[in-house]
Amino acid sequence: MERQRDIFGFLIILLIFLAACTPMLNPPPPATPAPQPTVTPVPSTPTPSPVPTATRTPSPTLAPGVSLRTLAEAQNVYIGAAVAAGPLQDEPIYGETLAREFNMLTAENVMKFESVHPDPKTYSFSAADALVDFAEEHAMQVRGHTLVWHNQLPPWVIEKKWERDELSKVLEDHISTVVGRYRGRVVAWDVVNEAIDDNGSLRQTVWLEGIGPDYIELAFQAAHEADPEALLFYNDYNGEGLGRKSDAIYELVQDLVQRGVPIHGVGLQMHVSVGRHPLPEKVAANIQRLSALGLKVHITEMDVRIESPTTETDLARQAQIYGEMLHVCLAAPSCEAFVLWGFTDRYSWIPDVFYGWNDALIFDPSYQPKPAYYALLGELAEK
């Protein structure tokens, strides 16, 4: 009863807020697929400035106890964010905001190959363990990211000329060790990440060169053996709507499904910008065809970048895009998780990789909710 009153109160506030925003909204720009640079990993070494204490109180416009998380849990969906291990350890408001607003997290970097397996015989799990512990302490689910990728590999993997059997053994050992360590604690793994290039062909990677195209099924088999309960995903960017790349992803996963390879879902990364993003109806159609294969869909890495300087209009458009994509996900029974690539503009990969772009997330650098936050809240309250 009290919960209903809270939600009702919140809806009123939301309506007022949206009415106030309406003049800022422009018609959405034409959607074209976003070109994605080849991402060279940039070590993230943010130098945080102190968080002003005045900003630590929750926004007064929200009814007490209402958050993305509480509304998502009432709908039985996951709302998540990628987590940077440094601020989680060093900045209490980071973890407080994370646990208040989200019920799922992804490791932004600390489960990647170079982090957990820096030398052939050395595994290093302390940072990843801390993250999984945090999730469990706060009753959050973990998405494991990622087992097979061409980026953030240690030199020992990249620099050697491998025999096929030798490299297959490396990959199997890596996957069974990492997945086995978190068996029963990671609800879903991004088993293979970004294996398709922008032309729709299999990307030239150390894995493809050393093992051949069946490295993909080998990876899914090894992950399934190590944790038969975990949901196993293929994850990629620029394949959210309909087009050459999403067709290639569809064909790849269709083939895996038909051959009985243990794959359970597709992750749509959704790194988009205010000017270039897929049309919601195309994303809905793509989710629909993937679901028809019996696969789940997770939105795995959403952010909506803005070219500097950020204007009020940009923030309103950004809010609209976040809201539309969550709307599409909530409308599809197979879309059970909506995960952002971070949550505060204080810590985001965007300015490091897309020079001149910024402000891609839903909280500002002082942890204040942006219009995009209220757009997500509105969608979750409405469903």
Q: Please indicate whether residue 136 is annotated as part of the active site.
A: no
Catalytic residue among 194, 240, 324, 379: 194
Question: Whole-number minimum distance, CB 356 to ligand XIL, in Å?
Answer: 17
Work out whether 38 is an interface residue with ligand XIL (CB under 6 A). Answer: no
Catalytic residue among 101, 108, 301, 379: 301
Work out whether 18 is an interface residue with ligand XIL (CB under 6 A). Answer: no
Q: Please indicate whether residue 251 is annotated as part of the active site.
A: no
The pattern of x and - marking residues 151 through 190 that bind ligand XIL according to CB under 6 A reads: ----------------------------------------
Under rule CB under 6 A, which residues in 86-125 are in contact with ligand XIL?
Answer: 108-109
Query: From its phi and psi, is residue 341 left (phi > 0), alpha (psi between -120 and 50) or beta?
Result: beta
Work out whether 41 is an interface residue with ligand XIL (CB under 6 A). Answer: yes
Q: Identify the CA nearest to 286 among candidates 258, 256, 335, 246.
A: 246
Of 301 and 324, which CB lies nearer to ligand XIL in the complex structure?
Answer: 301
Of 9 and 41, which CB lies nearer to ligand XIL in the complex structure?
Answer: 41
Work out whether 42 is an interface residue with ligand XIL (CB under 6 A). Answer: yes
Work out whether 44 is an interface residue with ligand XIL (CB under 6 A). Answer: yes
Work out whether 275 is an interface residue with ligand XIL (CB under 6 A). Answer: no
Work out whether 221 is an interface residue with ligand XIL (CB under 6 A). Answer: no
- Residues carrying an active site annotation: 194, 301
Binding stretches for ligand XIL (CB under 6 A): 39, 41-42, 44, 108-109, 193, 269, 301, 349
